[in-house]
């Protein structure tokens, strides 16, 4: 039997930055300080592939790589681009990154990756039932789990809400654009969206991730939110996407078996 991967390079591709680090897959920890570079403008597939190469070169990496993208991904192919350059639709991202880096690459939705990390090492570790992870930042990403298993490619941030969609009503970008205090944003924007999504899914646990889950920020508004489900902040912070990308690399990239030596 082939041994499971013990480490992989996780790369989290976001709207403002591409950040990555080697991940210890047994402990769910970064093996080095993460390296971040600005997301190229325009963020075309070729340009972003160059950024992934730069991150890999920074660490002198030659092994498996996991990459997140803020889009729906199926079998390594990007199928939506609501938060990406339109040229991504139909891009065989796993193949593109593999060709650029020379390494085996797995690609996963960014919120799905963060959710995997939280369920394996963070706030959702060991939890059964239905768990919803919402990553709140530029948009609202989502990951849904049943007994710890990911239901891939949910897009609850794109649910119709208040004559628009949920992330256009309650993302952190919206809070910043309107100059809203944390308390006002939580009560007037995030709470109604949470109530709507909870009504649809009836989860047992809700984990709030993304930049708003930082302890100093959560302290400003977390106590104002009301849900029937248990509600907690994410435990892994901004490292969750990188760690989850590493998990995806272990799950999606087959490990080659060593050939047995012929008997002499």
Q: Which sequence spans correspond to the domains of the chain?
A: 7-110+241-252, 123-235
Low-confidence ranges of the chain (pLDDT < 70): 1-4, 254-264
Answering whether pTM is above 0.75, one says yes
Tell me, what's the pLDDT at 251?
86
**Average per-residue pLDDT in the chain?**
92
Instruction: Identify the CA nearest to 193 among candidates 217, 221, 225.
Output: 225
Predicted confidence at residue 3, as pLDDT, reads 64
pLDDT at position 162 = 87
Q: Are 140 and 171 in contact (CB under 8 A)?
A: yes
- Across the chain, which distance is largest between two alpha carbons, in Å? 76
Task: Say if 7-110+241-252 and 123-235 have the same CATH topology.
Answer: yes
Using CA of residue 240, residue 241, residue 243, residue 249, what is the dihedral sign? positive
pLDDT of 202: 96
Pick among 3.40.50.700, 3.40.50.150, 3.30.420.40, 3.90.1150.10: CATH of 123-235:
3.30.420.40
- pLDDT reported for residue 16: 84
Q: Strand ranges (DSSP E) for the chain?
A: 7-13, 17-24, 29-30, 35-38, 65-69, 73-74, 77-78, 105-109, 130-136, 140-146, 149-151, 160-161, 164-165, 205-209, 230-233
CATH of 7-110+241-252, one of 3.30.43.10, 3.30.420.40, 1.10.3720.10, 3.40.50.10260: 3.30.420.40
pLDDT at 81: 78
């Amino acid at each position: 039997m082939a041994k499971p991967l013990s480490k992989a390079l996780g790369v989290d591709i976001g709207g403002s930055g591409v950040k990555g680090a080697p991940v210890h897959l047994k402990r769910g920890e970064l093996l080095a300080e993460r390296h971040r570079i600005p997301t190229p403008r325009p963020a075309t597939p070729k340009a972003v592939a160059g950024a992934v190469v730069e991150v890999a070169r920074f660490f002198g990496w030659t092994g498996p790589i996991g990459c997140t993208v803020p889009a729906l991904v199926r079998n390594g192919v990007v199928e939506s681009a609501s938060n990406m350059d339109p040229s991504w639709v139909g891009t065989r991202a796993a193949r593109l990154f593999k060709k650029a880096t020379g390494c085996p690459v797995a690609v996963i939705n960014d919120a799905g990756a963060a959710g995997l990390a939280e369920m394996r090492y963070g706030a959702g570790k060991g939890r059964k039932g239905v768990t919803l992870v919402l990553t709140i930042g530029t948009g609202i990403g989502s990951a849904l789990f049943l007994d710890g298993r990911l239901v891939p490619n949910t897009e609850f941030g794109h649910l119709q809400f208040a004559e628009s969609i949920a992330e256009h009503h309650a993302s952190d970008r919206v809070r910043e654009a309107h100059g809203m205090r944390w308390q006002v944003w939580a009560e007037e924007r995030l709470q109604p969206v949470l109530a709507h999504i909870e009504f649809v899914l009836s989860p047992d646990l809700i984990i709030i991730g993304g930049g708003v889950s930082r302890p100093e920020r959560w302290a400003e508004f977390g106590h104002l939110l009301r849900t029937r489900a248990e509600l907690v902040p994410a435990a892994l912070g901004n490292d969750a996407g990188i760690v989850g990308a590493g998990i995806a690399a272990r799950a999606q990239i087959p490990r080659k078996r060593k050939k047995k030596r012929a008997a002499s």
